[in-house]
Chain A
Amino acid sequence: MQSLFNKYPKLWRIFDILLPFFATLAALAVGAVMLIFLGANPFEAYGALLEGAFGNINALADTLVKATPLLLVALGICIAFRGGVLNIGGEGQLVVGALASTLIGLSFADAPGTLIIPLALLSGFLAGAIWGAIPGLLKAYFNVNEILSTIMMNAIAVQGMNYLLREPMIDPVQLESASRIPQTARLAVAFDLPRLIPTRLHLGFGLAILAAILVYIFLWRTVIGYRIRAVGLNAFASRYAGIKVSRYIVLSMLLSGAFAGLAGAIQVYGLHHRMFTDGSATGFTGSAGFNGIVVALFGHLHPLGSIPASILFGALIVGANKLQRVMQVPTAFITALNGLVVIFVVSSEYWRRRWARRRETEPVEKPPGATEAEVAT
């Protein structure tokens, strides 16, 4: 085994890429033990999960629909984390993107869909960009910690959403009835994103895949992308190389927010066709702004790696619902399962590094008298 890997170094790379999936399997194995304690048959349970996520064309479509916002947010996170800034503001950026695009759809209700859809997606992209750029500017020019400012921007976005959906943007029907559910009117049917196949799967998923490829090209094949990564790897060295570090910090936050904003717009036009709130961000976003971070980490902060990662997490969300319905296991199990997957994936990274280190040190002949540390360096 060891020699096989040494003979074909490429195998190591494949192994590295597949490692998160092995970690997921291990997490599912631990989950199986928990299921036995809960008195459920793990094979049946995972069968239900798989069937719920991939069992038929509708299930598969639902999985991909759930994966869409996760993937878009994750793309933004890839850019931000590669650029050395921690964008925790996905939720807020997603909300403002959705709000801006809804506003476009409500104001031009009679315009043709071919005009409004691109305009709405663009407005979502721009609104998210602005919402992301603010913490970027604060970090670059005022040294404000971006973790905190993005969290606060989330809170402000949610408050703004609650206000807009309860008063100016509320559905006139809700205004008349006593219930006053805080949601907008349904957008014109002409604005619905085209369905790809006769299921709930909409064009948004295709756009997200396209965006993933574009982000990959941007980060690894353009000068600006290279500079973003350089700043993320070593800001000091980049400064000496003549890169204007502050500008690239703002840029990576801006782009990061833009993709989350686009995700919001796509959620509105592809899935919900209106905007609604339950008072917190999660009612509308389904925590996609946070889960996107986990997806990006799962995909090794690589745009293309995020595609399978987002599908896996989409499948976990959709399949877990089915599992819960069929097997009557408590919601906690689903939460715990998600947590287990995350923990296993994060710790698998540790083993990967350990193996990588051993791989690098192994072929080196130890000179007589040299210490361990000298060989390692």
Chain B
Amino acid sequence: MTMSESQFVLTMASIVFVSMPLIIAVCGEIITERSGIVNLSLDGSMLMAAMTGFVIAYESDNIWAGFLAAMLVGAFFAFIVAFGSIRLRQSQFAIGFVLTLLGDDLSAFLGQNYTRTPGPTVTHFGIPLLKEIPIIGPIFFNQDALVYFTYFLVFFTWFWLFRTQPGLRLRSVGERPEAAFARGVGVNRQRYLYTVIGGALVGLAGAAYSLDVKIGWSDGHIRGMGWIALAIVIFGGWSPIRGALGALLFGATKALASYLQSRFPEVSVVAFNAIPWLLMITVLLLVGSDFTERVILMAPQRMQRPLQRFLRVSPPKALGSTFVED
């Protein structure tokens, strides 16, 4: 049983396409968490954004208005998390969690008149020269504008975080807020800024589902994807490139699960539905354990440092803490 080449290309292209919203959400959350704030509301805010984006695009017949509205919703949810933790000094986790529940319920109610109606979507277009490259071309460059934006976003986020002055400031706020503050960085202002920007991206991801990847709206449309995104942020070691790879890996296991399901119809669907979740737990376990460290030490000396840099995960030191400026 071998897959023909065109089948392989089609499957890979669909994996890239399906993983795209997840990658956007992961980039957004990485930006937020690098500044030291955990926006746990992802699942709820993505649902709200997906619903809002779909409804606005449907009513105004303008898909970009839908995306814009979704980004505003995501940014608003993120702002509540930032305000609650910075100003009100509440637990970020509690606020994020409550918002998750709220977003879930509220989206189900507000969108109930729009369930299962066909809606507008983004058109596909290949990039002229690049799509001619064998195999890579049809997989990566015969997609739609949002996917191309995602490539740019991953690269830009990485560049911003690790190669620019403002990115250094952003990371310093997440690692050593006291030191950053002593150097004259407005810690909480930075945190507000990047939480809201990250939230806007999360909102965009929600709309990317309802307007592009999984078109339409129904109750609990993409429930669970927010949690997956949060897991991938950790798996990705708070780096956009690794995070994007993680999202693609997740998309690939899902595709593999549905492929296996068609091959072995006698096994219950449920077993395959559980595969991605089991895989995520295993991956989190491997990344966090000493075992990985020991494996790295077995590698040739020269390989150790790069391997360590790629495999080791250490969260921003001040992640989830509050900082009082005085």
Do A and B make up one complex? Answer: yes
Contact A346 B94 (CB under 8 A): yes
Partner of A156, one of B84, B90, B274: B274
Residue of B nearest to A280 (CB): B220
B interface residues, how many (CB within 8 angstroms) = 37
B89 on interface, CB distance cutoff 8 Å: yes
Contact call B284/A160, Cβ cutoff below 8 A:
no
Q: From DSSP, what is the main secondary structure of chain A's interface residues?
A: helix
Inter-subunit contact B268/A167 (CB<8 Å): yes
Using A142-B285, A159-B273 as known contacts, say yes or no to A335 and B40 having CB atoms under 8 A apart: no
**How many residues of A are in contact with the other chain, CB < 8 A?**
43
Is A46 located at the chain interface by the 8 A CB criterion? no
Stretch of A146-154, A169-177, A252-260 lying at the B interface: A146-154
Which of A52-60, A192-200, A261-269, A289-297 is the contact stretch?
A289-297
Q: Mark A60-99, 1 if CB is under 8 A from B, else 0.
A: 0000000000000000000000000010100000000000
Chain B residues closer than 8 Å to A350, beta-carbon distance: 88-90
A155 is an interface residue with CB less than 8 A from chain B: yes
Residues in chain A near residue B84, CB distance under 8 A:
346
> Which among A138, A153, A290 is the interface contact of B101 at CB below 8 angstroms?
A290
Whether B277 lies near A148 (C-beta < 8 A) is: no
Query: In the assembled complex, how far is the CB of residue B271 from the closest CB belonging to chain A, in whole angstroms?
Result: 7
Of the stretches B102-110, B127-135, B145-153, the one at the interface is B102-110
Q: Are A148 and B102 in contact (CB under 8 A)?
A: no
Specify which of A151, A159, A287, A343 is in contact with B274 (CB 8 Å cutoff): A159
A86, A144, A353 — which one has the most chain B CB atoms within 10 A of its CB?
Answer: A144
Would you give the shortest CB distance from A176 to chain B, in whole angstroms? 20
Per the 8 Å Cβ criterion, residues 98-146 of A in contact with B are: 138, 141-145
Residue interface mask A326-346, B partner, CB < 8 A = 1: 000011100110110011001
13 more CB-based (< 8 A) A-B contacts, given A147-B230, A163-B271, A335-B109: A86-B93, A147-B93, A151-B227, A153-B281, A156-B277, A160-B270, A166-B270, A294-B98, A331-B109, A332-B106, A335-B102, A335-B105, A339-B105
Listed by A's residue number, 28 A-B pairs whose Cβ atoms lie within 8 Å are A138-B284, A142-B284, A142-B285, A142-B288, A144-B284, A144-B285, A148-B230, A148-B280, A149-B281, A151-B227, A152-B227, A152-B280, A159-B270, A159-B274, A162-B270, A166-B268, A294-B101, A330-B109, A336-B106, A339-B98, A339-B102, A342-B98, A346-B84, A346-B88, A346-B94, A347-B88, A350-B88, A350-B89
> Which residues of A are in contact with B by a Cβ distance under 8 Å?
86, 88, 138, 141-145, 147-149, 151-153, 155-156, 159-160, 162-163, 166-167, 280, 287, 290, 293-294, 297, 330-332, 335-336, 338-339, 342-343, 346-347, 349-350, 353, 373
Question: Which positions in B face A, CB cutoff 8 Å?
Answer: 40, 84, 88-90, 93-95, 97-98, 101-102, 105-106, 109-110, 220, 223-224, 227, 230-231, 234, 268, 270-271, 273-274, 277-278, 280-281, 284-285, 288-289, 326
